Amino acid sequence: YSLVARDGTIKHGEFSGAPIWRESKIVGMVSVIRDITRRKRAEEEIRRLNAELEHRVKERTAQLENANSELEAFSYSVSHDLKSPLQHITGYSELLNNRMAEFLDEKSKHYLKAIIDSTFRMGKLIEDLLSFSRMGRAEMLKRKTSLDSLVKEILKDFQANSYGRNIGWKVGQLPEAYGDNAMLRQVFVNLISNAYKFTQKCSEAVIEIGSACGEKGEVCIYVKDNGVGFDMKYADKLFGLFQRLHRNEDFEGTGIGLANVRRIIHRHGGRIWAEGKVGEGATFWFTLSA
């Protein structure tokens, strides 16, 4: 109960009582009145702080979403605007190489080749960055997808282009999952491309794709290889944008592929992680809704 004290302040109290029995009759009552004003004020302060915290969280979340949207729009704009001058550099460099090759000494040819190679790498970086930006904004069309059919279709391209490579492909029976077909294709293409790339120095490469028991309501998929592997202390860096664990001279790449994979899996509400050992290969795991 509440009451107004003589000084005008509101006081809160708590009443409890119990009857006094004598010969099966109530002859009185014991009652206790406690002043709980401080407790009520503390509860009110907690409610106020919770409301304020919730408001701040919503405000910060909105700011973060706006910042991410602006960053993605900026990345897309910059990447798109970079393509045109880069195409000119590539085109004129190749034209110069075709027309003047016989007049250039070996050092000049080397310099020109370095320019052309660099423009191709820059072009790949821009394309990957555009893909990363688009993937954050693209509408998802989720439906039941046969991962088995999807992977078999993707592997046809890899197997057709693996002439001269000794690769043992091991593909288990994969389940259906709930997701966007085009995005899941991108996940598998990136992970299989990584396995393909990092086993190129193996005399007998083995790339395995399969599934394992996941938690209830989810499927767990893995892509495993026996390539160069990685040190587990750097595992957290694998999925960061522009993060690479190997030199470009050893293995080409832009450091965007795995960041894109993580973004897709997270948009599907799944998890992704990696396990590896230097010189013994790597395994990439991810989960999807069943």
Domain boundary (98, 115, 137) is at: 137
Residues 94 and 126 in one domain: yes
Q: Does one domain contain both 149 and 133?
A: no
Task: Lowest mean pLDDT of 97-101, 146-150, 169-173, 284-288, name the range.
Answer: 97-101
CA dihedral 55, 56, 62, 67 (to 10 degrees): 170
pLDDT tens per residue across span 152-165: 999 988 887 777 78
DSSP count for the chain of H helices, then E strands: 5, 10
20 and 127 co-located in one domain: no
Q: Residue 137 — very low, low, confident or very high, per pLDDT cuts 50/70/90? A: low
Residue 73: partners with Cβ closer than 8 Å, 6 or more residues away? none
Mean pLDDT score across all residues of the chain: 85
Report the pLDDT value the prediction gives residue 248, as an integer from 0 to 100.
57
Regarding whether 269 and 238 lie in a shared domain, the answer is yes
- Is residue 282 pLDDT above 90, yes or no? yes
CA distance 42 to 190: 54
Are 76 and 100 contained in the same domain? yes
Looking at residue 71, which CATH number applies to its domain?
1.10.287
Q: What percentage of the chain exceeds 90 in pLDDT?
A: 27
Pair (131, 187) in one structural domain: no
How confident is the model at residue 14, as a pLDDT? 87
Query: pLDDT tens digits for 226-243?
Result: 998 888 888 888 887 766
pLDDT score at 252: 66
Does residue 75 surpass a pLDDT of 90?
Answer: no
Angle, alpha carbons 94-96-102 (nearest 5°) = 110
**84 and 194 housed in the same domain:** no
Nearest to 288 by CA among 273, 270, 272, 274: 270
Model confidence band, residue 139 (pLDDT cutoffs 50, 70, 90): confident
Dump pLDDT digits (tens) for 1-35.
Answer: 788 888 888 888 888 888 888 888 888 888 888 88
Q: How confident is residue 224, by pLDDT bands cut at 50, 70 and 90?
A: very high
Lowest mean pLDDT among 212-216, 250-254, 274-278: 250-254
End position of a domain, from candidates 79, 110, 137: 137
What SS3 state is found at 239? coil
Same domain, 127 and 239: no
Q: What CATH number did the domain enclosing 184 receive? A: 3.30.565.10
283/169 same-domain check: yes
| 146 and 256 housed in the same domain | yes
How many folded domains does the chain comprise? 3
Residue-range definition of the domain harbouring residue 100: 42-137
Asked if the model's pLDDT at residue 265 lies above 90, the reply is yes
Q: What is the pLDDT of residue 260?
A: 87
Q: Which of 137, 159, 188 is the last residue of a domain?
A: 137
pTM above 0.85, yes or no: no
Assess whether 245 and 178 both reside in one domain.
yes
Predicted confidence at residue 247, as pLDDT, reads 60
Q: How far apart are CA 2 and CA 36, in angstroms?
A: 10
The reported pLDDT for the residue numbered 184 is 93
Within this chain, do residues 157 and 97 fall inside the same structural domain, yes or no? no
Query: Burial of 12 by CB count in 10 Å (0-12 exposed, 13-18 middle, 19+ buried)?
Result: middle
